[in-house]
Amino acid sequence: MGFLTVENLSAFYGKAQALHKVNISVAQGEIIAIVGANGAGKSTLLDSIMGLTKTTGVIKLGDNVLTGLGSPAIVRLGVGYATERFNLFPYMTVRDNLMVGAYTARDDIERNLDMVHKLFPRLEERENQETMTQSGGERQMVSLGRALMTSPKLLLVDEPTIGLAPKVCLEIAEVLRRLRDEFGTTIVITEQNANFAMTLAERLYVLEAGAVQIEGTVESLRDDPKLTEAYFGH
Amino acid sequence: MTQIIIQGLLLSGLYALIAMGFTLIFSIGRVLNLAYGAYLLIGGYVYFYFAQMMGMPKLVGVLLAVIVGAAMGLAKYRMIVKPLKGDHVAIEISTLILAIVLQSGVILAFGDSSKILLPIIPGVERLAGATIPYSNLLAAIVSWAILISLYFFVNKTHTGRAMQAVSMDAKGAAISGIDSDRINMITWGISGALGALAGVFFASYTQLTPSMWVAPLIISVAIVIVGGIGSIIGTLIVAHIIGFMEIIVTAMIAPELRGVFTMVLIIGVLVIRPQGLFGREEL
């Protein structure tokens, strides 16, 4: 039985349907990747888990039903979210951005801050810098750091490597792996780059036009002709 | 000279207090609350009713004014701002109408003649040829105390940071577990309380009239435009620029021109530096 289960999830923006009966199941301590092109519905899926869209279907985290709850309640139940555009607070310092993340987890501030600084030493060096003046890589770190400050059991990361230099991508991947291995965090990432997704995740879901087309373990999908054709371009 | 400095400081402190509640809503809720002056109006009259007509202790009168102000702020958010969801023109029109309705209500209840508030603390202090009523001194001290507390509240507490977060990135705030509706309620409540308190002091500085909501609104708009949104320090500095400018104009040129220079300053800043002297370009 999954830790996160998504059953028959459809999502709507006004009358437009962005997701069609998506089913996903993630075990505790697993890293899975949602792979798909631009506009396939990856961000919508994560937004929906976070309670930010209008949906039908059921989303469960452990024994708690998330469907119908607002984001604040979902954060309290243990879901952290690092969005694609980061959605940082541009005129606040790195430290204040992290402290906003601690809004619901005020008893864990010291422990979480310590963990974030251990994972991203650069955030401690730059703690008084306003995030608007930071590079894309640093913003990604603040965004992940802020999500971690909410004490998440499930971490959603939308396109962790988009627009980042290859070296920074590896750093981020390493941090996500450490989070899972050392802190037991369950992680869902989305990726356009199937190659990168395969280096990090155990299982993939391939999303196309808002529906799951292919799913399986990295092993079983490595040689899947359909996936190769669609996402490796050779 | 000393007189100008002393009067300038006193008036500026009062202006800063008047503008603070307005800045708060403009910066965090992104709403131009044209009914802001009505908090001062109602605050002044609530104080007048309880402390002067009913003869309750003055402190109780001030407290009741603050409570009614906060309640008005909450009601305005619930009944006007939230249902109109970001339709700025509609919100501005309704808030302006609300202010006028409240003015009529006050005329109905108290008549339209102006009233003098008895000083909260009677007596004056003479210093270097300047006469300082204790009430004005108290107003300035209270303004400063409140501005300093507000600065720490907004920058150093979870709720204060959440208020900034909601204003800078609503989605970022939501995924950090912040209920923006609750934060907006708190902000509107604080704004109303500050406005009503400022009203008590403003009315004792000038006098109590049903049209006393207009001047503070213009001062607040001026301070926010010149100072730029989102900065408590900016509000404080600009309150002093405008306060001193008015005192100097009154003393050196002509009392009739007092407000004119403020208006000229508004237009000048709008043309030369639209984001304000201390504001960010776009939040």
pLDDT tens digits, A152-176: 999 999 999 888 888 888 999 999 9
How many alpha carbons fall within 13 Å on the CB side of residue A51?
Answer: 24
What whole-number distance in Å separates Cα of residue A184 and Cα of residue B135? 62
- In this predicted structure, what is the pLDDT of residue A1? 58
Interface residues on B facing A, Cβ-Cβ cutoff 8 A = 158, 161-162, 164-165, 168-169, 171-179, 230, 280, 283
Nearest CA distance, B184 vs chain A (angstrom): 15
- In this predicted structure, what is the pLDDT of residue A234? 41
State the CB neighbour count (10 A cutoff) for residue B132: 18
How many alpha carbons fall within 13 Å on the CB side of residue A116?
Answer: 32
Angle (CA) A138 A139 A141, round 5°:
65
- In this predicted structure, what is the pLDDT of residue B236? 87
A122-138 pLDDT, tens digit each: 999 999 999 999 999 99
Residues 6+ apart with CB under 8 A from B221: B22, B266
Asked if A174 and A126 touch (Cβ cutoff 8 Å), the reply is no
Within 8 A of A81 by CB-CB distance, chain B residues are 175
With CA atoms as reference, report the closest residue to A78 among A41, A34, A108, A123.
A108
Within 8 A of B161 by CB-CB distance, chain A residues are 92, 96, 99-100, 103
Asked if B46 and B58 touch (Cβ cutoff 8 Å), the reply is no
- In this predicted structure, what is the pLDDT of residue B136? 83
Q: How confident is the model at residue A177 (pLDDT cuts 50, 70, 90)?
A: very high
B168·A71 Cβ contact <8 A: no
The two tokens of residue A118 are 């251990």
Q: Which of B159, B163, B166, B176 best tests the A interface by mutation, with the highest count of A CBs <10 A?
A: B176
| Chain B touched by A102 (CB under 8 Å) | yes
The complex's ipTM?
0.91
With CA atoms as reference, report the closest residue to B117 among B50, B35, B68, B64.
B50
With CA atoms as reference, report the closest residue to B6 among B200, B148, B199, B136.
B136
Nearest to A100 among B162, B179, B280 (CB): B162
What whole-number distance in Å separates Cα of residue A59 and Cα of residue B130? 71
Within 8 A of A105 by CB-CB distance, chain B residues are 177
Residues 6+ apart with CB under 8 A from B276: B224, B225, B226, B227, B228, B229, B234, B269
Asked if B107 and B42 touch (Cβ cutoff 8 Å), the reply is no
Asked if A187 and A180 touch (Cβ cutoff 8 Å), the reply is yes
- The residue with tokens 């299982």 is A203
- Spell out, as residue ranges, where chain B has pLDDT lower than 70: 229-230, 279-283
Strands of the A54-61 sheet, one edge to the other: A16-26, A4-13, A54-61, A64-65
Angle, in degrees to the nearest 10, between helices B214-227 and B258-272: 30
Q: Is the dihedral of CA A45, A46, A47, A53 positive or negative?
A: positive
Within 8 A of A50 by CB-CB distance, chain B residues are 174-175
- In this predicted structure, what is the pLDDT of residue B282? 43
The two tokens of residue B81 are 């701002």
- In this predicted structure, what is the pLDDT of residue B126? 82
The two tokens of residue A84 are 């694609």
What whole-number distance in Å separates Cα of residue B18 and Cα of residue B13? 9
- In this predicted structure, what is the pLDDT of residue A231? 63
Q: Which of A44, A52, A71 best tests the B interface by mutation, with the highest count of B CBs <10 A?
A: A71
- In this predicted structure, what is the pLDDT of residue B283? 39
* A132: DSSP letter: G
A178-227 pLDDT, tens digit each: 999 999 999 999 998 888 888 899 999 999 999 999 899 988 888 777 77
- In this predicted structure, what is the pLDDT of residue A163? 84
Nearest chain B Cα to A81, which residue?
B175
Nearest chain A Cα to B155, which residue?
A96
Mark out the alpha helices in A77-108 (DSSP H runs). 94-101
What whole-number distance in Å separates Cα of residue B257 and Cα of residue B255? 5
Nearest chain B Cα to A85, which residue?
B172
- Calculate the average pLDDT of chain A: 91
β-strand pairing of A203-208 with A31-35: parallel
Within 8 A of A72 by CB-CB distance, chain B residues are 174, 177-179
Reduced to 3 states (helix: H, G, I; strand: E, B; else coil), residue A191 is strand
Stated pTM of the model: 0.88
